[in-house]
Chains A and B, each alone.
Chain A
């Protein structure tokens, strides 16, 4: 199972419309990505809360269709 880069970006964008998102397909297999997400929504939140916002935007795909997504969040 794999996920398209654009699909990931669209899901994050839906939850965080102001976000600047940079996604890299680390292995070129559509299964190992890294995403850097910059959003004003993260302001005042802990890293755990910030990452949860990104995980939640992916609607349960994380850990299922999407095996590995390294996340970095910035305010």
Chain B
């Protein structure tokens, strides 16, 4: 990964408390998995930034290396990698996602 890509990722997760690296945008997701996490965050009324990896090929590959995670979407909350679609979905269903949001003092609909 080049330095420019690493800086870009560092900036996104530093400047956005809840940051979702996804295919497409929150309004127009380009992949079902990205849409799934996007929808969960919308239902919880979380203010999040969607970063579209399809607009930047080096970001698309770089984020996988950065997180040591082979798939997209990837969710970061306060700079911490929370998981991909399967994990976030499981956490949404069992209430753990709300706990993380609460612990990290992120505003959401309770």
Contact = CB atoms under 8 A, between A and B. Distances in A.
Interface in B61-80: 64, 68-71
Contacts, number: 29
Contact of A55 (B70, B85, B91): B70
A62 interface: yes
B18 to A, nearest CB: 17
A71 to B, nearest CB: 5
Interface residues of B, number: 14
B33 interface: yes
Contact of A47 (B33, B68, B83, B85): B83
A72 B94 CA distance: 13
Interface residues of A, number: 12
A48 B83 contact: yes
B87 interface: yes
